[in-house]
Structure 1
Amino acid sequence: MAITSQPSADGQELTIFIQGRFDFGAHQEFRDAYERVNVTPKRYVVDLQGATYLDSSALGMLLLLRDHAGGERAQIRLIHCSPDVRKILSISNFEQLFHIA
């Protein structure tokens, strides 16, 4: 499991890359990826291309990111979702809370 983050050149957007299992074991690493950065981004991107597994605790972590980013005003995109990950997000009605691409 590896979670990394990369701010855009202007600091307006933060991309968080998920590799491997996205589950409770990734909780602290995921929080650090958006809390311990030297920028205050307006937009967030969670790149799930490398995610091999996603469970209910991962959904909770995405909700914590949403709260951190401003709740209903948050601009968060979930990108590169595999069909299995997209199905989990759809069943959980996350398309109403996040932009899923």
Structure 2
Amino acid sequence: MILIGQFDFNLHRDFRQASQELLDNPEVKLIEIDFDQVPFIDSSALGMLLLLKERAALQKKSLELHNCNDAVRQVFESAQFNKMFTIR
């Protein structure tokens, strides 16, 4: 999944729909979220990622966060996501 632009509450519906398609696909074992084009994330985005991680775990799917810029990585580290997620 490639995110583009600010990752905040405004993307909630689109993010949920796209992630549900990946969760529903039995061939998908690993969900990779690409943050290369994301300049900013807010707390609602953190919540969306946590929910997706929980839902993926229930279906025995892995979740990885990729290509985080320094600002996004700093938010993840502040929220201790680096301990809960694989961040590449």
TM above 0.5: yes
Question: Quick one: distance in 2 between partners of 1:42 and 1:74?
Answer: 5
Q: Are 1:51 and 2:38 matched, yes or no?
A: yes
Amino acid at match of 1:67: E
The C-alpha deviation readout for 1:1-49, integer Å capped at 9, x for no partner, is xxxxxxxxxxxxxxx1100010000001001111135623211101000
Q: Are 1:70 and 2:57 matched, yes or no?
A: yes
Supply the RMSD in Å over aligned alpha carbons: 1.5
Question: Quick one: distance in 1 between partners of 2:40 and 2:83?
Answer: 21
Higher strand share: 1
Q: Which runs of 5+ in 2 are unaligned?
A: none
Q: Normalising to structure 2: TM-score of the pair?
A: 0.88
Q: Which runs of 5+ in 1 are unaligned?
A: 1-15
Give the 4+ runs in structure 1 shifted more than 2 A.
none
Structure showing greater relative contact order (alpha-carbon pairs closer than 8 Å, 6 or more residues apart): 2
Question: Quick one: distance in 1 between partners of 2:19 and 2:42?
Answer: 20
